[in-house]
């Protein structure tokens, strides 16, 4: 037994049953599975909400959630993990460039868990660099379930240290430096912003509000939060949107090598749809 076991300095009581209610609801709403070890994370993120609603504690909050459907949005926003960065897993952006050169008729790229926007803007930078212009007939659709990160993404304003690792050329071409009240910040240039369209899409919902045919799907570092059966259901629906020579890009720990009924590996956690078995 550790010295703090059996002791608690929490402001609100948070019983195992409360944690279980939270994770059941989060799973139903988003497909996100929370491990037992996420108890403290859930407490600290939702305690803020309990406090700002001036509620007495978690049982009142869970009742509030049941009786106020609009609270679901705050609940989801509080519990998603939005870690991302510009050019995260850089090898995928080299693959993207090669793919665009080999497939000049690419028209739509879907970035399906775009978080605060660094990923879709990195995609847009590669598109602009590949064709040496911003005004390219390629639409980048960026989506997320979390409405708060989508707002931040649309604004395209970041702390300057977020672009520290970018080449000087990219910094100059794609960002404005903030002055006055915005010192220490950068803003994505409007030409790049125009290339990306943000939408709220919950991958668990049966309707994805995507009308256009999709050539490339970036779906990175979100499937890890889903269980295997949800992963495969989402992957199957995504693969159906792609043409035979389309590309699916997964996160570094999301491997689908054994989902051969759906995809075949294109190397480096990228996949081609396996339409031959349709």
Ligand X SMILES: C[S@@+](CC[C@H](N)C(=O)[O-])C[C@H]1O[C@@H](n2cnc3c(N)ncnc32)[C@H](O)[C@@H]1O
Positions annotated as catalytic residues are 45, 144
Residue 149 sits in the site that holds ligand X (CB under 6 A) = yes
Number of Cβ within a 10 Å radius of residue 187: 16
By CB under 6 A, the residues from 16 to 35 that bind ligand X are 30-32
Write the interaction track for ligand X spanning residues 200-239; mark x where CB under 6 A is met and - where it is not.
Answer: --xxx---------------xxx--x--------------
**Interface with ligand X by CB under 6 A: which range of 79-87, 128-136, 157-165, 171-179?**
79-87
Q: Where are the strands (E) in 10-134, listed by range?
A: 108-111
- Compare residues 119 and 215 and give the one whose CB is closer to ligand X: 119
C-alpha span between 85 and 203 (Å, rounded): 21
How far is it, in rounded angstroms, from Cα 178 to Cα 160? 9
Based on the shown chain and the rule CB under 6 A, indicate whether residue 38 belongs to the binding site for ligand X.
no
**Smallest distance from the beta carbon of 228 to ligand X, in angstroms?**
15
When binding is defined by CB under 6 A, the residue of 64, 88, 152, 177 that contacts ligand X is 88
Residue 39: partners with Cβ closer than 8 Å, 6 or more residues away: 14, 19
Residue 54: left if φ>0, alpha if ψ -120 to 50, beta else—which one?
left
Kindly state whether residue 82 participates in binding ligand X, applying the rule CB under 6 A: yes
Binding status of residue 59 toward ligand X by CB under 6 A: no
Write out the H or E segment, with its range, that includes residue 113: none
Whole-number Cα distances in Å, 253 to 69, 95, 112, 241, 257: 34, 18, 16, 23, 12
**β-sheet bridge partners, residue 158:** 186
Among 39-47, 58-66, 81-89, 175-183, the segment contacting ligand X (CB under 6 A) = 81-89
Among 84, 106, 130, 193, binds ligand X (CB under 6 A): 84
The minimum distance between CB 224 and ligand X, in angstroms, equals: 8
- The alpha helices in 158-223, defined as continuous H runs, are 168-174, 190-194
* Residue 215: Cβ-neighbour burial (10 angstroms; 0-12, 13-18, 19+): buried
Nearer of residues 221 and 270 to ligand X, judged by Cβ = 221
Q: Binder to ligand X among 113, 192, 262, 263 (CB under 6 A)?
A: 113
DSSP state of 178: P
Q: Is 173 in the site for ligand X (CB under 6 A)?
A: no
Minimum distance, C-beta of residue 197 to ligand X, in the bound complex (Å): 16
Report the nearest approach of ligand X to the CB of residue 76 (Å): 8
What is the contact surface with ligand X in residues (CB under 6 A)?
A: 30-32, 80-84, 88, 113, 115, 119, 144-146, 149, 202-204, 220-222, 225, 251
């Amino acid at each position: 037994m550790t010295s703090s076991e059996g002791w608690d300095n929490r402001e609100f009581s948070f019983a195992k049953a409360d944690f279980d209610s939270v994770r059941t609801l989060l799973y139903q709403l988003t497909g996100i599975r929370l491990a037992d070890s996420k108890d403290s994370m859930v407490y600290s993120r939702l305690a803020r909400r309990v406090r700002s609603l001036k509620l007495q504690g978690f049982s009142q909050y869970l009742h509030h959630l049941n009786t106020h459907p609009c609270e679901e949005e705050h609940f989801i926003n509080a519990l998603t993990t939005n870690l991302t960065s510009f050019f995260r897993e850089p090898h995928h952006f080299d693959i993207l460039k090669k793919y665009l050169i080999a497939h000049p008729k690419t028209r739509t790229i879907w970035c399906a868990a775009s978080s605060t926007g660094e990923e879709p803007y990195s995609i847009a930078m590669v598109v602009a660099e590949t064709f040496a212009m911003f005004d390219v007939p390629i639409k980048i659709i960026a989506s997320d379930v979390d409405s708060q990160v989508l707002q931040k993404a649309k604004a395209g304003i970041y702390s300057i240290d977020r672009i520290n690792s970018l080449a000087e050329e990219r910094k100059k071409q794609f960002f404005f430096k903030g002055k006055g009240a915005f010192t220490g910040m950068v803003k994505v240039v409007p030409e790049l912003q125009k290339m990306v369209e943000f939408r709220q899409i919950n991958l668990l919902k049966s309707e994805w509000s995507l009308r256009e045919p999709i050539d490339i799907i970036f779906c990175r570092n979100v499937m890890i939060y889903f269980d295997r059966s949800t992963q495969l259901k989402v992957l199957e629906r995504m693969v159906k949107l792609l043409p035979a020579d389309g590309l699916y890009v997964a996160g570094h720990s999301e491997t689908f090598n054994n989902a051969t009924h759906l995809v075949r590996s294109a190397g480096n956690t990228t996949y081609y749809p396996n339409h031959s078995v349709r």
